[in-house]
Chains A and B, each alone.
Chain A
Amino acid sequence: MKRPTRILAASAAAAAIALIAAGCSAGDGGDSGGDITLTFWGSYGNGGNSAQQDVLESTLIPAFEKAHPGVHVEYLDVPYDDLLQKLTTSAAGDELPDLVRADLGWVPRFADLGVLVPLSKEMDDFQELADATYPGVLATNLWKGEYYGLPLDTNTRVLISNPAALQATGRTEPPATFADFQKMASELSGTGITLFADGGLGAWNLMPWIWSGGGDITDADVTKSSGYLDSAANVKTLQMLVDLYKAGQIGNGIVGNEGAVSTSEGLPGGNYATILDGPWMTGIWAGQFPDFAPVYSPVPAGDGGSISVVGGEDIVLTASSKHQKEAMEFIRFTQSEEFQLALVPTGQLSVITALGEKQVALDPKLEIFTKQLETARNRLAIPNASEVDTILNTELVPAFEGTISAKEALANAAEKIDELLAS
């Protein structure tokens, strides 16, 4: 009886050792025969719309590998909603890849954790590469005086209008100013169409209004919000939005109602006259609403002009990468005309200022976006930027509900942001 038990135990132990050994070797990066494999994580797959991932994997990576014999790039696509969590747990477990296509809001967070390489310090030609990009987009990589990444692709929000709604008000052009925007609200009265809709009050949603209204969220050194977020200009801007909301001209998705008709369906569906959104919507509507011909125009201008918010992704190099020289080569490749323009037809805007015209020639619909990018600004580049979103989403809602004034709501939010900046 004992012998089979021992054999079983020995087999189990052998199997366990084999499994552990296999597990260890899987994490080694898979270099063989002197070749180097760079690991690269991103969300080019866009949860199923694989046009960008196809270009990356079938055109761009092979082109890089051809130009750099012996260097392979292994791309892992992670759905956007899971990527931050995966990066966080991988950083904790020291299992990060060589390169990451990171949402621009995440760069200060990971730089602060100490897991990224300061490219401005380590790349000889960094300044030259940085100078070629849009300043608002480049700024997303700055943390404590060093740049921890380079812009990879960008986007911004512009005003998108439903042509039928414009027609219902007798207009040929979308509203160009705050005053015109408010006027359109009264023109829409009785048509059953809501003037505007958005999905929340986070910085991505709110800042185009704040900046265009001539205000800001903090001082230039990002040390204080009180006196800035609750400025007279911002009170006026928020009051405009609150008044429109109370008049039923802004959908209640803006206060966080997940049951509201989404902006992507409500605009072509005729529920909403206008929304603010990015260049990817064109592709989404082309599939779902082929007859819809949206009208693109700049964000309505207030006292501060027409200023939108920068979005997009940066490419960052992790401090744990064993192949930093080769990884920097790949970063240089991402800044090339070949790389940047190849992704334009898939809805990605180039980060290189000089490619603006070629980009518009490739896709004329991108003209408004390219123009808007010239003045677009970055949100607060701080590690806890997500908490700023939570504060704005939480503290401003009572103003829309009418329980406190716009001034009080902004002051409450500013006070909380002050605490955040002080910590």
Chain B
Amino acid sequence: MSISTLAAGAAADAAAPAPRPRIRRRRPSVTPYLFLFPGFVLFVVTVVYPIVQAVQMSLYDWRIIGSATSEFLGLDNYARALGDEHFWLSFGNTAFYLVATIPPQIVLGLLIALLLHARSPIRPLLRVLYYLPVVTSWVVVSLLFRFLFADQGLINWALGSTGLTGGDTSWLGDRWTGMLAISALGVWKGIGWSMMIFLAALQGVPQPLMEAATVDGANAWQRFRAVTLPAIRAAMAFVTVMLVIGAFNVFISVYLMTGGGPAGRTDVLLTYMYRLAFGDLEFGYGSAIAVILTLIVLVLSLAQLRLFRDRDGVAR
């Protein structure tokens, strides 16, 4: 329909050369920009400016007082980070948290989403219950988990009374058990969020395809692998990217559950950075770590998006 109509229209235009210019608006309307302006200003002031400032600070031995002169160090702060054992320890702990929390959040989140996708009268109630940890304050649940994992806490009591352990584990008194406790909180609090995203994505799985697969004799696992998973690939990419960003930003739970201790062994990148900046006033070095963190997250996010996009391309 459209090609012939357009051709006819073009011919008509050529046949009757009307006075041209008036129809075209040379000046675009300012109205959309006016609406964009407040948001843009907010973005520049609260996001762009701090990032630029952090990059600038990372190149100096930054003195926080405006009147004081900060010494320019070039990339020294970055070199210091690469040779700083505690930076690598914090990086290792962040990586541990990432590996320990993301797969369970995806697998369990998807599993619960699949279960809740089935029609049931209590489905809304279950959705709320699973989502409740997500909207609960990080501070409250971090303190709660600190008490649960305390030497005389509920976890030790439960493990001791069932005979699984002697009930005398100092969970928060050792690097790996401490990180495990922090990761447990991360998983518990995050499952509801990934479940909600997967639940929304499951609504978009094409039913005719599912029915066709059933008719072809595919069992539940085959249907899940061949129909459901490809259909929710975009959601999977989104959840993975967001969880990776979230894992690198873990702070409150570590700060409140172990305080980075004992002896700084459960420090993650953000708690180390915070201590450097606000505890030791090393804003330059702290900013360098912040910039490194941003670059890591950026590279990982781009790599993941690329990975998911490539697979999409092959699928098509």
Contacts and interface: CB of A to CB of B under 8 A. Distances in A.
A91 B66 CA distance: 9
B209 interface: no
B172 A91 contact: no
Given A257-B151, A259-B150, A261-B151, A109 B281 contact: yes
Interface SS majority for chain A: helix
B259 interface: yes
A259 B64 contact: no
Contacts, number: 86
Interface stretch (A31-39, A54-62, A150-158, A390-398): A390-398
Nearest to A109: B281
Contacts of B278: 84-85, 88
Nearest to B62: A92
Interface in B129-155: 146, 149-153
Contact of B281 (A9, A12, A88, A259): A88
B279 interface: yes
Interface residues of B, number: 31
A257 B173 contact: yes
A255 interface: yes
A113 B283 CA distance: 13
Given A9-B34, A256-B173, A387 B280 contact: yes
Interface stretch (B113-121, B222-230, B260-268): B260-268
A244 B293 CA distance: 42
B263 A256 contact: yes
A235 B186 CA distance: 42
A261 B153 CA distance: 10
Nearest to A113: B65
B146 A394 contact: no
B275 interface: yes
A91 B64 contact: yes
B279 A258 contact: no
A258 B263 contact: no
Contacts of A383: 281
A177 B124 CA distance: 66
B5 interface: no
A398 to B, nearest CB: 8
Nearest to A420: B280
A384 interface: yes
Contact of B146 (A109, A258, A387, A393): A258
B280 A113 contact: no
Contacts of A113: 63-65, 68
A100 interface: no
B64 A92 contact: yes
24 contacts: A12-B38, A88-B278, A88-B281, A94-B66, A113-B63, A257-B172, A258-B150, A258-B173, A258-B258, A259-B149, A259-B153, A260-B150, A260-B151, A260-B170, A260-B173, A261-B150, A383-B281, A384-B280, A384-B281, A387-B279, A390-B264, A393-B264, A395-B263, A397-B263
> Which 3 A-B residue pairings sit nearest by Cβ, starting from the closest?
A257-B173, A256-B262, A256-B261
